[in-house]
Every structure is written in structure tokens, then in C-alpha cells.
């Protein structure tokens, strides 16, 4: 869908939990779920050349996928487990 922006991107967080790096868009909340060049890749899906380049990089670079997957899993456990999410929610409510 050309004009839709995803609010957060729970599927990226679910992938991170299992150590799977993601390729996401560059708009909306997905940039909080996928850290570019650390837990995956953010790319403009409307820019076909950029999307193609990102896909080729991800497919051809096993070591990078492995490292980003490791980083993604670590990012999940440091930020999105029950206690961590509750602490962040409570901080927002109390401010």
C-alpha cells in the first residue's frame, strides 16, 4: 500500500526476539523497531534501486545477517520484555 505508514511494527520485534534481522521501511514507528545497520536495514520501499541494493546486501552477507540477528535479539531483551516495557510505560505515565 503506497501511502500507508506502519505505527510501530510488532512483527519486527517478534523477529528480533528470535535473532532474525529485518528489512523495514523508513517511516513511522518501524525505525524504532529496526535500528538501521545494527539490527537490520531501513530502506525506502518506494526507491526500487535502494530496496534492491538492501536485499542483495542482506542475501549475500551471511556474517552481517548473523551479527544483526544477534544485535536484534539483544535489543529485544534489553528493551521489549515485560518488565522493560512496563518500566518505560510507567515512566511515560508518571511524567
Phi, psi (degrees; rounded to nearest 5) at 36: -55, 130
C-alpha cell at 66: 548473523
The whole-number pLDDT of residue 76 equals: 95
| CA 80/CA 95 separation, integer angstroms | 20
CATH number at residue 48: 3.40.50.2000
Does residue 69 sit within a domain? yes
89 lies in some domain: yes
Q: Which three cell numbers stand for residue 74?
A: 539483544
Q: Looking at residue 2, what is its pLDDT?
A: 53
Residue 84 lies in a domain: yes
Q: Is residue 68 part of a domain?
A: yes
> pLDDT in tens for each of the 95 residues of the chain?
455 666 788 999 999 999 999 999 998 889 999 999 999 999 998 999 999 999 999 999 999 999 999 999 999 999 988 888 788 778 888 88
Segments forming the whole domain that contains residue 28: 10-94
Position 4 in a domain: no
Does this model's pTM top 0.85? Answer: no
Amino acid at each position: 500500500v503506497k501511502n500507508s505508514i506502519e505505527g510501530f511494527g510488532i512483527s519486527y520485534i517478534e523477529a528480533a526476539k528470535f535473532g532474525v534481522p529485518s528489512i523495514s521501511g523508513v517511516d513511522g514507528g518501524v525505525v524504532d523497531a529496526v535500528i538501521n545497520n545494527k539490527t537490520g536495514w531501513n530502506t525506502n520501499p518506494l526507491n526500487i534501486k535502494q530496496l534492491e541494493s538492501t536485499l542483495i546486501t542482506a542475501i549475500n552477507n551471511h556474517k552481517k545477517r548473523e551479527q544483526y540477528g544477534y544485535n536484534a535479539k539483544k535489543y529485544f531483551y534489553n528493551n521489549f520484555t515485560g518488565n522493560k516495557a512496563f518500566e518505560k510505560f510507567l515512566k511515560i505515565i508518571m511524567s
